């Protein structure tokens, strides 16, 4: 654990220094749009975690991301995720000055460089909506991942 919430409150990595392999779980995605709507998501924590993974301490020839395709180099998945986070946040912040309405996110939230990647259609617009609200200082509770059913409180499983 890198010491801070990022994609969620419990992101873990596994680093094998001799083999120079880094398993990032959901901290790094490649050619796949990350889910930024987890209830414990932290934009600042995620960016800081990715910056940490880009240091010499975690130099890797191979990276195994949480989602996406095979990565040509160890740092490419980390950079892909970092670029998406900053591009999506910059898009959301820019719409504040336009006085855009969050209900219209499907009209102004397109981010063409990522269109066609895995999860773009079902996830990206939720991400931009959350980042827009975050940039305006509005806390949001997040939401469970699509297809994930949270257990009921009285569930004894």
Quick one: pLDDT at residue 32?
Answer: 93
Looking at residue 72, its pLDDT comes to 76
pLDDT value, residue 153: 37
**How far is CA 32 from its chain centroid?**
10
Burial of 57 per CB tally in 10 Å (0-12, 13-18, 19+): exposed
Would you state the pLDDT for residue 106? 85
Q: What is the pLDDT of residue 98?
A: 84
The sign one gets for the Cα dihedral 88, 92, 94, 95 is positive
Instruction: Give the mean pLDDT of the chain.
Output: 88
Q: From 143, 146, 93, 105, select the one nearest 122 (Cα to Cα).
A: 146
Per-residue model confidence (pLDDT) at position 144? 67
Counting as low any pLDDT under 70, the low residues of the chain are 144-157
pLDDT at 87: 97
* Per-residue model confidence (pLDDT) at position 108: 86
Which pLDDT score, from 0 to 100, does residue 71 have? 85
Q: What is the pLDDT of residue 146?
A: 59
């Amino acid at each position: 654990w890198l010491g801070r919430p990022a994609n969620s409150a419990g992101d873990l990595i596994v680093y094998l220094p001799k083999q120079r392999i880094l398993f990032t779980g959901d901290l790094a995605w490649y050619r796949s749009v990350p889910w930024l709507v987890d209830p414990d998501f932290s934009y600042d924590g995620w960016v800081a975690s990715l910056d940490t993974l880009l240091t010499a301490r975690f130099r890797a020839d191979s990276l195994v991301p949480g989602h996406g395709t095979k990565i040509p180099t160890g740092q490419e998945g980390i950079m892909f995720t970092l670029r998406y986070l900053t591009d999506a946040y910059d898009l959301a912040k820019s719409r504040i000055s336009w006085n855009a309405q969050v209900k219209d996110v499907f009209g102004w939230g397109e981010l063409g460089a990522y269109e066609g990647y895995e999860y773009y259609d079902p996830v990206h617009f939720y991400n931009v909506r959350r980042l827009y609200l975050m940039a305006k200082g509005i806390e949001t509770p997040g939401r469970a991942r699509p297809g994930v059913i949270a257990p009921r409180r009285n569930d004894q499983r």
